[in-house]
């Protein structure tokens, strides 16, 4: 049996490094752990802190698009927990981010909504 205890990181490849860096740090408010430019790969790697886990934000030249909507196979979305979904939505919309109408999880009774990052990666806010 594996002794898995937590999610360590989620890796995201972006199309425009500066735009995505600003989105994840200034809009979502994630803290930078480290930022490295790898000359041999013409690639940035930005490690961001989110709770006990990390998001690795990569840039590579000429990356292909990944279909995400309608429901494509693979990772469906990345969900962020929030204590106050209304305030989080207000902050996002204040930055011009489109947010879907709030829904209620029929199993847990918790409120949630979806929005997208600059590369249209589906992201979710889920109220604790």
pLDDT per residue over 66-87, tens digit each?
777 667 777 788 999 999 999 9
In SS3 terms, the chain reads as CCCCCCCCEEEEEECCHHHHHHHHHHHCCCEEEEEEEEHHHCEEEEEEEECCEEEEEEECCCCCCCCCCCCCCCCCCEEEEECCHHHHHHHHHHCCCCECCCEECCCCCCEEEEEECCCCCEEEEEEC
Nearest to 15 by CA among 112, 118, 125: 118
Is 76-128 CATH 3.10.180.10? yes
Tokens of 121: 């990666």
Asked if 85 contacts 102 with a C-beta cutoff of 8 angstroms, the reply is yes
Residue 48 to residue 55: CA distance in whole angstroms: 5
| CATH 3.10.180.10, the chain: domain bounds | 1-63, 76-128
How many percent of the chain have pLDDT more than 90? 80
Q: How confident is the model at residue 4 (pLDDT cuts 50, 70, 90)?
A: confident
CATH homologous superfamily of 1-63: 2,3-Dihydroxybiphenyl 1,2-Dioxygenase, domain 1 (3.10.180.10)
- 59: pLDDT strictly greater than 90: yes
64: left (phi > 0), else alpha (psi -120 to 50), else beta? beta
> Can you give the pTM of this predicted structure?
0.89
């Amino acid at each position: 049996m594996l002794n898995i205890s937590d999610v360590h990181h989620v890796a995201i490849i972006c199309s425009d490094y500066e735009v995505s860096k600003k989105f994840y740090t200034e809009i979502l408010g994630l803290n930078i752990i480290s930022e490295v430019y790898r000359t041999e790969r013409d690639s940035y790697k930005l490690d961001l802190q989110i709770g006990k886990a990390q998001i690795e934000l990569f840039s590579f030249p000429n990356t292909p698009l990944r279909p995400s909507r309608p429901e494509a196979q693979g990772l469906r979305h990345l969900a962020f927990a929030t204590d106050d979904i209304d305030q989080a939505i207000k902050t996002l919309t204040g930055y011009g981010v489109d947010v879907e109408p709030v829904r209620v999880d029929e199993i847990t009774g918790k409120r949630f909504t979806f929005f997208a990052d600059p590369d249209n990666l589906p992201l979710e806010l889920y109220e604790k």
